[in-house]
Structure 1
Amino acid sequence: MVRKDPEITKRNKEIAALTEQIRELESIVLKYTGCSSLHSLNGKYGGKYAEYIDIKNEVIDTPEQFISLYCQGFHKKLESLKESAQSGNYYFDAWLHFYEYEEVREWLKLFLKRTFLRNYKFLSKVRPTVEESVMWIGQENASYGLLVTPRFGDAQWENDQSEIRHFKPRYWTILHILKTGLVIPFEKEKIVFHDIEQYLTFFKNTLVRNSGSIHEKEIAKRYCDFVRNADEPENVPLLIPELRYGGISKKHEYRLDFTIVNPFNLSKVGFELSPWSTHGELTGIKGKTQKAINEEVKANFEKEMMKIKSYFRKLGITVIVYTDSDLEKYDVIFEEISKYLSPSQSHKQLEFQAIADLLAFKPNLTESDNL
């Protein structure tokens, strides 16, 4: 039996309550606005949200934010009218009714709040930029592409940019990769996964195993168990292995051991497992002076720091580094990593004067307008 999402249930109840309040105001609002029907009324006000708000790019978390953006867009439209802001103009008349009648303002606020709740998933979903929507991962001769809406273009994979905003799964989660699979660079071929277990097997035994790192293998095992035991395994963020700083280019500088992308706000955090034997230990030091040895140690350290800085500067990824003393305790490391595998959606707290600003709009009115 499919479990009901409590958040959806809560929204549906609120939508039903708003509908009742809206119906109580409809007759008086029709009278004040002079609209001949509800269809005409909705078109004059509520249906304008796509004109007043840049819904293609805005990420809207709350009804208050939605109302604020609507009012800001309405205000901007009125200001653009200039001398045309007078009775008889479609937009000005809509504003005039909004200005004069409290019932119209209350109805519109309720209507917009219901519109937001009805379109919550679409309006609140953070969407990756064109650059962020392509990731290349893996070793030099065994790399794969992780895209959002992959299609094979001019001899290479690319995203269908017009469809990115309509992608239903949460970005960069288990369900994401089940939906898209992994693409093979420069080949019209994909690796598809029919279920979670099939992906986890590929993740652990192919993607991570190719790195040759015992540390990465241990973390991968714990990740697989974490996904299997999750209440909603399909919504667990991907633990992305070997993210390539240089993209598909063979001559790239760095790979990051693991990366997690928060599916709600698309913030990124990387994890680098850096034992001294791999990144700091020196060989062939016999016969070298202490000065020369110190210079090599310094160069190795600066190389590692440049790697971390490069990921942060270019890709906006904060990198957490685990060294030898950390790597003795895999469970402790994964406990820290798991915090990023259980993200929660935070809502923006808004303080806005949009409605006040809209009411304060001052057109060039004549005395006959009686305002």
Structure 2
Amino acid sequence: MHIIIARGHIDLAKRDPNKTARNRRGKEITSELAKLWPQVSIDSGYDNQLSFNALIGGKAATFIDLKEKVIKSADEYISEYLSGFKKARERDGWTAGGTPFSATTLKSNFDTLTKTKATKQYFLLFLQRSFLRHYDELVRNRPSVADSEIWIGQNNSDYGILITPRFNATGEWENDKSEIRHFPKLYWTIGHLLTTGLVVQGDPDPITFASIDDYLSFFTKVLVRPSGSKYEREIAALYCSYVKSQEKPEDVPLLIPELRYRGKEKKHKYRLDFCVIDPVTLEKVGFELSPWSTHGHIASTAKKSQKEINAEALRNFEKEAGKLRDYFRKYRITTLIFTDEQLADTGKIFDEISTYLEGSTEATQLEFSLIEEFL
């Protein structure tokens, strides 16, 4: 615990014991590496420690899928690194990120790193320290490339939510995939959107929001209102009140409106009324408001036979069921359906939605402080 003195009073600021323990162990490893270096320098033939470190650390992204792989321990990190190193050595002319690596060069590097007991020890300690230094990024669940962008809205009024948006040379928005794991905010939250804004294909200027209130106003007036559904407007209003009442409104998951099934394709097939993505587990749940008047009603029944009415009712049912199956198959979205009986009280519906808005705010942490205490 450290002391902060400001304006005549003393504030005891809490520290994360796990982070403190990780930092302490990282410093210990740095000290151990310094002690090993003189012998490692002799054994490896390297005069410069930074160059030797680069021989190890510079290949981490080559040997490990750091964009998507979730790694929970130093042992797992080392295992992934060594596995990737082995595969690379076995494939002559192997290429990663546009950089070719010959099997001969990689074998020579491996021989250098494992030449003696000292070089092996240094090699493994360096990888342990790398894991500790990048711990928060490595243990964090990250969206797959396919799940790292969301497109919402109706035809000719569609917007994209990306994690690390950049406007490419072809005039389209895309994610900078190498930076997704470094994104500083919780994924798919109010804070996420305030950081990235919304994007429109073909337009290099994102739509940004100066405050939470600015975004919530845009959410209700531009994103939700065009649907024409009074139920969606009521849910949206309750969501805005919920966000404003929270101690950390930036950490509240987005209530994503009009999620497009075909993403950024111009012609869409379906839209899901609302969706919430847990910022840590990345689990998705959808909410479909299905009043009979728009989802099941059959017009002009007096002019139709019972058989025709039944056939039309079946088509309506199959269409709705097919939509939800398709969202699950493509996006793994489990959808809750609210019909007229529930829609009579949108407050109760929002109470149910709000349980998913509580979300998860912290990634699973290894208890470094307890491990340290035990040892």
TM category (shorter chain) comes to 0.7 to 0.9
> Any conservation in 1 of the 2:33–2:125 contact (CA below 8 Å)?
no
The letter for the 2-side match of 1:95 is T
Aligned pairs for 1:214-233 (under 5 A) are: 214-233=230-249
What does residue 69 of structure 2 align with?
Answer: 58
Q: Are residue 135 (structure 1) and residue 150 (structure 2) matched?
A: yes
Match of 1:358 in 2: none
Aligned pair 1:122/2:141, yes or no? no
2:316 is matched with 300
Q: Which amino acid aligns with 2:217?
A: T
Letter in 2 for 1:34: D
**What is the match of residue 250 of structure 2?**
234
Does the 8 Å CA contact 2:173/2:201 hold for their aligned counterparts? no
Q: How many residue pairs are counted as aligned between the two chains?
A: 340
Offset, 1:6? 4.9
Q: Which residue of 2 aligns with 1:175?
A: 191
Q: Deviations over 1:76-96 (max 9, x none)?
A: 456679xx99xx944225335
Structure 1: gaps (5+ residues): 350-371
Helix, strand or coil at the partner of 2:191? helix
1:195, CA displacement in angstroms? 0.6
Contact conserved, 2:78 with 2:124, CA < 8 A, in 1?
yes
The alpha-carbon distance between structure 1 residues 151 and 115, as it changes in their structure 2 partners (threshold 3 A), is: closer
Q: Which residue of 2 aligns with 1:15?
A: 23
- The question of whether the paired residues in 2 share the 8 Å contact of 1:137 and 1:242 is answered with yes
Instruction: Say whether residues 1:94 and 2:113 are aligned partners.
Output: yes
Cα deviation for residue 196 of structure 1 reads 0.7
1:237-268 Cα shifts (integer Å, max 9, x gaps):
21110112233445322111011223334332
Q: Equivalents in 2 of 1:3, 1:125: separation in Å?
A: 29
Cα 1:175–1:96 shift into 2, 3 Å: same
What amino acid is aligned across from residue 14 of structure 1 in structure 2? R
Match of 2:174 in 1: 159
How far the C-alpha of 1:46 sits from its partner, in A, is 5.7
Equivalent position of 1:365 in the other structure: none
Deviation at 1:222, TM superposition (A): 2.4
RMSD of equivalent CA atoms: 3.6
| In structure 1, C-alpha distance between the alignment counterparts of 2:198 and 2:33, rounded to whole Å | 53
Change (3 A) 1:135 1:52: closer
User: Are positions 1:145 and 2:160 aligned together?
Assistant: yes
Change in Cα spacing, 1:263 to 1:80, as seen in structure 2 (3 Å) is: same
Gaps of 5+ in 2: 1-5, 93-102, 367-375
> For 1:139 and 1:4, how far apart are their aligned partners in 2?
47
User: 1:69 & 1:343 partners in 2: Cα distance?
Assistant: 30
Change (3 A) 1:266 1:3: farther
Aligned AA (2:219)? F
Identical amino acids, percent of aligned pairs: 42
Q: Is residue 2:304 matched to residue 1:288?
A: yes
Return the match for 2:81 from 59, 70, 73.
Answer: 70
Task: Tell me the SS of whatever aligns to 2:66.
Answer: coil
Q: Match for 1:332 among 322, 329, 348?
A: 348
Q: Is contact 1:308-1:319 (8 Å) kept?
A: yes
Which letter maps to 2:19? R
TM-score (norm 2): 0.75
C-alpha distance in 2 between matches for 1:322 and 1:57: 35
Q: 1:112 aligns with which of 127, 133, 141?
A: 127
TM-score, normalising length: structure 1: 0.76
Contact 2:37 2:49 in 1 (8 A): no
Q: Which moved more, 1:125-134 or 1:204-213?
A: 125-134
Alignment of 1:172-211 (within 5 A): 172-211=188-227
1:330: how far off? Answer: 2.9
Q: How far has the Cα of 1:233 moved from its partner?
A: 1.7
Q: Greater share of strand residues, 1 or 2?
A: 2
Q: Look up the SS of the partner of 1:266 in the other structure.
A: coil
Instruction: State the partner residue of 2:333.
Output: 317
